[in-house]
Amino acid sequence: MGIVKIKDKTFKTSIPEAEILKKVQVVADRINKDFEGKKPVFLAVLNGSFIFAADLMRMITIPSEISFVKYASYEGTSSTGSMKTLMGINQDLAGRHVIIVEDIVDSGFTMAHMIEELKKMNPASVEICSLLVKPGNLKVNLDINYAVMEIPNDFIVGYGLDYDQEGRNLRDIYTIVE
């Protein structure tokens, strides 16, 4: 178990990189099977999903595309509940199968907002692929068909997730130590 200090907080290893990658492969295999012959568009939500999206895409064997979007709802360690679109979608998604690639689904507000916006673009389907899901903290009803792992309602960093923009570069996922 490793311990890291980021700013004023201490974190301990909770999910090692090797375990993360094994579970990402399981989800990638399901996507490859479910979307065979469909050429999905992956929409990776920045900044947090960039490492997960890169690993996932290297495991995707079907023809596909990836694009990036940026939303903001976090400040420090908590979700603000308000949504700002910072960088949007610049391609035609009508009739396309869209897979949102997210680092973590916490309250679900970001996903609900994003799905609402995507539906206006008339895609054939919209699926959520999230590295982490906090089922105990979900405030909206979402179908998350491609969840890599469920975690308790703890604050975490690493593998793309940050604490006040730091810690994204950590290979493992770390949980805050109270």
Residue range 17-68+89-150, CATH number? 3.40.50.2020
Annotation marks residue 106 as catalytic: yes
Q: Confirm if 30 and 59 have CB atoms less than 8 A apart.
A: no
pLDDT at 58: 98
- 88-124 per-position pLDDT tens digit: 788 899 999 999 999 999 999 889 989 998 999 999 9
C-beta separation of 32 from 97 below 8 A:
no
**pTM of the predicted model, to two decimals?**
0.91
- Under-70 pLDDT residues of the chain: 1, 72-87
**pLDDT confidence of residue 85:** 62
Catalytic annotation, pick one of 106, 154, 164, 172: 106
